[in-house]
A = this chain, B = another copy of it.
Amino acid sequence: MAPKIVDRQAKRERIVGAAITVFAQKGVANTKMIDIAKEAGIGKGTLYEYFRNKEDIFASAYDTMNRDMEQKIAAILSEQTHPARQLQMIFEYSLDYFSREAVEFSSVMMDFWAEGIRRKSPEMMGVINLKEIYDRYRVIIAGIVRKGQEQGLFIDVDAVSYASLAIGALDGLLLQLVMSPELIDITRMKTTFKQTMIQCLEK
């Protein structure tokens, strides 16, 4: 009259972790349910006790990875108050993160993008709302720029365009990093970022 007790939340997280590992190795599209199950050390059927379907695991993994990133950005913003420094920190952190910590992360993220793009037109339940994520980052960067302008520190550039450009540059670099890691010198890239994206902003 009493069931086996399992920490379902913890197990969900373990499965998501396993999924991310496999995604990194084989690519999201080429990952089979059985691959995730094996990595998590459980049977395929058990996956369906914790997730409705493949899509569901996919979305959970995406959420997890994205929450990580946003928390770190938030931390940076609270450490620094000078707009130019905030931008610089965000750029440098992103570059570091992409290159050093996250060869894994990067290619998985690329897969998520590809999926997100593929799902934009059909009335798919937008499990992965890429647009929303972009909007959020755009708001953050544009906010910093506007603050700098109000303080008379930055030139009069369109804050939203600048934010789109900066986010685009980071994403695009991630793309190239995944393709040719040997070609992108992070240290130099940081300098170049500062020389172009930041110094030109300052009066």
Contact = CB atoms under 8 A, between A and B. Distances in A.
Interface of A: 27, 29-30, 107, 110-111, 113-118, 120-121, 130-131, 134-135, 138, 155, 157-158, 160-162, 164-165, 167-176, 178-180, 183-185, 188-189, 191-193, 195-197, 199-201
A190 to B, nearest CB: 9
B134 A179 contact: yes
Contact of A176 (B164, B183, B193, B197): B164
A117 B180 CA distance: 11
A111 B117 contact: yes
B161 A172 contact: no
Contact of A114 (B117, B173, B179): B117
Contact of A161 (B110, B135, B167, B192): B192
A168 B174 CA distance: 8
B167 A176 contact: yes
Contact of A107 (B117, B160, B180): B117
Contacts of A193: 165
Contact of A170 (B161, B168, B199): B168
A180 B131 contact: yes
A200 B189 contact: no
Given A111-B114, A167-B176, A168-B174, 8 more contacts: A30-B118, A111-B117, A114-B118, A135-B180, A161-B185, A164-B176, A164-B184, A171-B175
Sorted nearest first, the 7 A-B pairs with minimum C-beta distance are A168-B172, A114-B114, A200-B200, A171-B172, A172-B172, A161-B192, A169-B169
Given A179-B117, A200-B199, A168 B171 contact: yes
Contacts of A118: 27, 29-30, 111, 114
Contacts of A161: 184-185, 188-189, 191-192
A199 B114 CA distance: 33
